[in-house]
Structure 1
Amino acid sequence: MRRGPTNSLMDVAGLRVGHAHRVGAGHRTGTTVVLAPAGGAVAGVDVRGAAPGTRETELLDPRNLVERVHAVVLTGGSAYGLAAACGVVERLADAGIGYPVNGGVVPIVPAAVIFDLGRGGAFRAVPDAALGTAAYDAATGGPHGVGPASGGDPHTTSPEGTAPPVGGNVAARPGAVPALGTAPPAASGSIGAGTGAMAGGLAGGVGTASVILPDGGTVAALAVANPVGSVLDPADGTLAGTRYGLPGEFDHLRSPSPHEVQAWNPQKAPSFNTTIGVVATDRTLTKAQCGKLAAVAHDGLARAIRPAHTMTDGDTIFALSTCAIPAPAHDEFQDILAAAADVFSRAIAHAVLAATGREGAPTYLDVFPSAATTATGEIS
C-alpha cells in the first residue's frame, strides 16, 4: 500500500476541504469544513467521548431518513462553535445544494466541536457563522478562499474589515475581531479547527493521512487532535500514531533520549478536550457501513491517544463514502475498515508533528529534539 498524492482527504475524489481561523485579540480558534461532491456523500458517525458537542448526528442513524450529507463541519469553540455550521448551511443553500423539499433545499451539515475555550485569552472568542462561511469559501475558492497558509497568527484582512489590534487589554476590546487566516486544503498543523488544539500538554492541531489500497480504492482521514490523553508511547516517548506509518512516512523520526522522556512532565493540562475527525473512501458504501467505518476509525484514535474516550473528551468521527467506484466485496470491506484505523492514527501523528508551538503548548520536537534525525539518519 502507498500514500495518496497529497496524503490527505483530498485524495478521495470529489471531497474539498477548507480551513479558516482567527488568532489574536483573545482568539485562538477556527473551523474546518469538508464538502461532499455534487449530490452529497453517504455518511455515518460514531460518538465515543462522554462530553460530545455535535449537530445532526442522529440523522446519520441508518434507520433515519436522509442518506447523504452535503458537508461536515469540524470546529473549535465548544458548544458555541456549532454556530459555524450555520455559515456553511447558508452558502450551500445559496448554491441550491441540499435535501430537496417543497419550496427549496435543506443542506444537511453534521458538525462536531472541540473544547478550546480561552486558549487565546478570551473565553467567548469562538467561531461563528462568518468563520464557517470563510472555511466554505476556502474550500471552494470563493470570496475568502485566498488567504495564506498560517499555523500561527494570520495577517489577512478579516471579512468584517477589522484589523487585529496591537497590544492592549483583550477584555477592554469586546468588539475586536482579529484578521482571518486560511490554509491549503491538504495542510496539517495548528490551522482551522485545530488552531487552539492541545494534545496531552503538547500543541495539537489538524492532521491528515491517506492510503491507496491494492484494489485501487482510497481511504483517507482528517483528525483534529485535541485529547486530554497522551499521544506518546509510554515505553519510549515516540508518537504512538507513527507506528502505523507507511514506508518512508515517519523515517525522519526516532525514539527520543530517555533523559528527555523522563524530564517531560506537563503541568496544568486542560480538563476538557476532544478529538474529532472525518474518515472517507471513494468506494460505494451503505449508511450502515459508513457507521461501521467511523466506529473502526475510533480504534485508530485509541491506538494514537492514551487514554481515549474519557469523561471530558467528546471524541466523534464521521465517515463519508463518495460512491465514486463500485461497492466492495466482503473481504475488500474488511481491508477498508483496517485502513480506516491506520489512517486515523497516522493523521493524529501528523497533527502533532505539524503543530505550531506557543506558551504552555510546546511542539513535540521542542520537548524531544533528539527524536528528529538528519537526512542521513544521524541524530540532529
Structure 2
Amino acid sequence: MRPGATNSLVDVAGLRVGHAHRVGGGYRTGTTVVLAPPGGAVAGVDVRGAAPGTRETELLDPRNLVERVHAVVLTGGSAYGLSAACGVMDRLAEAGIGYPVEGGVVPIVPAAVIFDLGRGGTFRATPDATFGTAAHAAALHPHGPPAPRPYGAPWGTGNGGGAEVFGGAHPAASGSVGAGAGAVAGGLAGGVGTASAVLPGGATVAALTVANPSGSVLDPVDGTLAGARYGLPGEFGHLHPPARAEAAAWRPPNRPSFNTTIGVVATDRALTKAQCGKLAAVAHDGLARAIRPAHTMTDGDTIFALATCAGPAPGHDEFQEILAAAADAFARAVAHAVLAATGREDAPAYLDVFPSAITRGTP
C-alpha cells in the first residue's frame, strides 16, 4: 500500500472537507464538515463510547429508509455544538442538494460532537449554525479559508482585550483546526488528523479523526505515539522513541474529564449500507490501537463510514483489505492529529513534552 496524493480524506474522489474554528474571546472550538458528492454517499455509523452526542445516527441503520447522506459534521461544543449541522443543512438546501420530498429536498446531515466546553475560558462559547456555514464555505474553497465575513460578521469583534482568531484550514490539514481546535488527548493537545491508503487493487481508503480522548495516545513502554506504529513506509520515519528521562517525567493531569474521539472513514468503492456499518465498526479497532483506554464511560466515541461508489463493488477479498486498511488509517490519523497539534498552557504539544522524539530538520 501507499498513501494517497495528500494522505488525507480528500484522496477519496468526490469528498470535500472544510474546517472553521474560533480561538480567543472565550472560544477554543470549531467545526469540520465532510461533504459528499452531490448525489450523496452511502453511509454507516458505529457508536462505541458511553457518552455520545450525535444526530441522525438511527437513520444509518441498514433497516431504515435513507441510503445516502449529503454531509457529515464533526464539531466541538458537546451537545450544544450539534446546531452547527443546521448551517450545513441550510447551505445544502439552498443548493438543491438533499433527499427529494414533495416541495423540495431534505439534506441528510449526520453529526457527532466532542466535549471541549470551557477550554477557551467561557463554558457556553460553542459552535452554532454559523460555524457550520463557515465550514461548508471552506469545503467549497479548498485552496484556503473563506473570506473573513462568515466569521467576523455573525460572531462580532469583542474579545475581552485578547487576540481572537477566526479561521479555517486546508482540507488535508492536521492539527488544532476545525473541530479539533480545543481537543485534548490524554493531557496533550489533540486535534484533527487524517490519513489515506491506496490498495493494490486500486481502491482508496481514508480516515479523518478528531482526537479528543480521555485515554492515552502514548505507547506505555516508551512514550511513542501508539498510532504511529501502523504508519506506511516512511510516514513516521522521522520519529524516534523519546529519551527515557522525558518519558519518565511526563505526568498527565489526573482529573476527571469528558472527552470523545469522533471521525469518518471512507472509500471510493461501492458499498452497501450494511457494509458501511461494518467499515465504521472495524475503524474502531484502529481507534483502540491508538488510544488506551478507548470507549470509556466519559467518551462518546463515534465513527461514520462513507462510500462514494465512484468505483465498483469490491469482492470478498478486496472488502477484507478495505476493512483492514480503514483500521490502520484511523490509527495513523490519530497519530497525525497529536503530532500536528499546537500546544497551549493547559495541553502541551507532543513535541513540547518529548522533543527528542523527532530529528529536527527532517521532513
State the TM-score, normalizing by the size of structure 2: 0.96
Partner of 1:331: 317
Maintained 8 Å contact 1:229/1:307: yes
Shift of 1:197: 0.1
- Cα distance change of structure 1 residues 42 and 30 upon mapping to structure 2, 3 Å threshold: same
- Cα distance change of structure 1 residues 285 and 8 upon mapping to structure 2, 3 Å threshold: same
Partner of 1:110: 110
Q: Does 1:160 align with 2:154?
A: yes
Maintained 8 Å contact 2:134/2:146: no
Partner of 1:65: 65
Deviates more, 1:316-325 or 1:257-266: 257-266
Q: Does 1:228 align with 2:228?
A: no
- Unaligned 5+ segments in structure 2 are none
SS of the equivalent of 1:19 reads: strand
Pick from 216, 223, 247 the counterpart of residue 237 of structure 1: 223
State the AA in 1 paired with 2:134: A
- Cα distance change of structure 1 residues 270 and 88 upon mapping to structure 2, 3 Å threshold: farther
Q: Does 1:283 align with 2:269?
A: yes
SS of the equivalent of 2:22 reads: strand
- Cα distance change of structure 1 residues 86 and 349 upon mapping to structure 2, 3 Å threshold: same
Maintained 8 Å contact 1:29/1:126: yes
Query: Could you tell me how far apart the structure 1 residues matched to 2:185 and 2:291 are?
Result: 9
Q: Any residues of structure 2 matched to 1:118-137 within 5 Å, and which?
A: 118-137=118-137
Shift of 1:27: 0.2
Query: Could you tell me how far apart the structure 2 residues matched to 1:358 and 1:35 are?
Result: 30
Pick from 353, 358, 362 the counterpart of residue 367 of structure 1: 353
Cα-to-partner distance string for 1:85-127 (whole Å, 9 max, x where unaligned):
0000000000000000000000000000000000000000000
Query: Could you tell me how far apart the structure 1 residues matched to 2:199 and 2:253 are?
Result: 42
Partner of 1:317: 303
Maintained 8 Å contact 2:26/2:159: no
State the AA in 1 paired with 2:161: G
Query: Could you tell me how far apart the structure 1 residues matched to 2:150 and 2:340 are?
Result: 21
Q: Does 1:52 align with 2:52?
A: yes
| Root-mean-square deviation (Å) | 1.9
Cα-to-partner distance string for 1:207-237 (whole Å, 9 max, x where unaligned):
0000000000100000000000000000110
Deviates more, 1:257-266 or 1:328-337: 257-266
Shift of 1:375: 5.2
SS of the equivalent of 2:268 reads: strand
Deviation >2 Å, runs of 4+: 144-148, 159-168, 177-180, 374-377
Q: Does 1:274 align with 2:260?
A: yes
Maintained 8 Å contact 1:158/1:179: no
Shift of 1:326: 0.1
Partner of 2:282: 296
Maintained 8 Å contact 1:228/1:269: no
- Cα distance change of structure 1 residues 209 and 269 upon mapping to structure 2, 3 Å threshold: farther
Query: Could you tell me how far apart the structure 2 residues matched to 1:156 and 1:340 are?
Result: 34
Query: Could you tell me how far apart the structure 2 residues matched to 1:205 and 1:269 are?
Result: 20
Shift of 1:161: 6.7
Shift of 1:54: 0.1
State the AA in 1 paired with 2:335: A
Cα-to-partner distance string for 1:301-356 (whole Å, 9 max, x where unaligned):
00000000000000000000000000000000000000000000000000000001
State the AA in 2 paired with 1:192: G
- Unaligned 5+ segments in structure 1 are 149-154, 169-176
Partner of 1:14: 14
Shift of 1:146: 2.4
Pick from 164, 175, 187 the counterpart of residue 189 of structure 1: 175
Partner of 2:75: 75
Partner of 1:173: none
Shift of 1:158: 1.3
SS of the equivalent of 2:306 reads: strand
Query: Could you tell me how far apart the structure 2 residues matched to 1:162 and 1:83 are?
Result: 19
Query: Could you tell me how far apart the structure 2 residues matched to 1:279 and 1:88 are?
Result: 20
Q: Any residues of structure 2 matched to 1:330-349 within 5 Å, and which?
A: 330-349=316-335
Shift of 1:145: 4.3
Q: Any residues of structure 2 matched to 1:348-359 within 5 Å, and which?
A: 348-359=334-345
State the AA in 2 paired with 1:366: D
Query: Could you tell me how far apart the structure 1 residues matched to 2:98 and 2:311 are?
Result: 23
Query: Could you tell me how far apart the structure 2 residues matched to 1:167 and 1:257 are?
Result: 40
- Cα distance change of structure 1 residues 164 and 50 upon mapping to structure 2, 3 Å threshold: same
Shift of 1:277: 0.1
Partner of 1:257: 243
SS of the equivalent of 1:325 reads: coil
Query: Could you tell me how far apart the structure 2 residues matched to 1:348 and 1:53 are?
Result: 20
Query: Could you tell me how far apart the structure 1 residues matched to 2:208 and 2:180 are?
Result: 11
Query: Could you tell me how far apart the structure 1 residues matched to 2:360 and 2:113 are?
Result: 37
Q: Does 1:215 align with 2:201?
A: yes
Number of corresponding residues = 362
Query: Could you tell me how far apart the structure 1 residues matched to 2:8 and 2:238 are?
Result: 19
Q: Does 1:199 align with 2:213?
A: no
Identity %: 78
Maintained 8 Å contact 1:276/1:315: yes
State the AA in 2 paired with 1:323: C
Shift of 1:167: 2.2
